Amino acid sequence: MAQTRKRRRRKHRGTPAGTIERRGRTSKAHAGRAAGSARRMTAAERREARLNREPTWSASFQRAGIAALILLVFVSLVQHNVAAGAVLAAFSLILYVPLGYYFDRLLWQRRMRKRQGGGR
């Protein structure tokens, strides 16, 4: 009969007292990383970096495109009218892109003013 459960890869060394000691790391550092070079960013640092990036038109267009696509699918399924959904999606895309960009820019400028200590 074939073995059904996966065998462990490392050997656990037991002591006479019954405790199990595991060996430490025996392999070399990962080849893709330079030894001790760039450390990984923490979640707070990634969030800070994302919030400090200036908004772009392309990001705003992507967000508006996703919203328009969801609107198209929703209207097409609910009203069974693909043409009406397409018209509404196109209108929302035209409306959402500049609104989203300028709203993101407003929040970003406010965050930058607060960060520099120049609040109103």
- Per-residue confidence (pLDDT) for residue 37, from 0 to 100: 55
Of 72, 69, 61, 45, nearest to 99 by C-alpha is 61
* Stated pTM of the model: 0.59
Which amino acid type is present at position 38? A
Mean pLDDT of 85-106: 94
Instruction: Tell me: pLDDT of 27 over 90.
Output: no
Mean pLDDT of the chain: 83
SS3 labels along 35-53: CCCCCCCCHHHHHHHHHCC
Tell me the domain boundaries of the chain. Answer: 58-120
- Per-residue confidence (pLDDT) for residue 120, from 0 to 100: 60
- Model confidence band, residue 16 (pLDDT cutoffs 50, 70, 90): confident
- Per-residue confidence (pLDDT) for residue 77, from 0 to 100: 92
- Per-residue confidence (pLDDT) for residue 33, from 0 to 100: 54
- % of the chain surpassing 90 pLDDT: 42
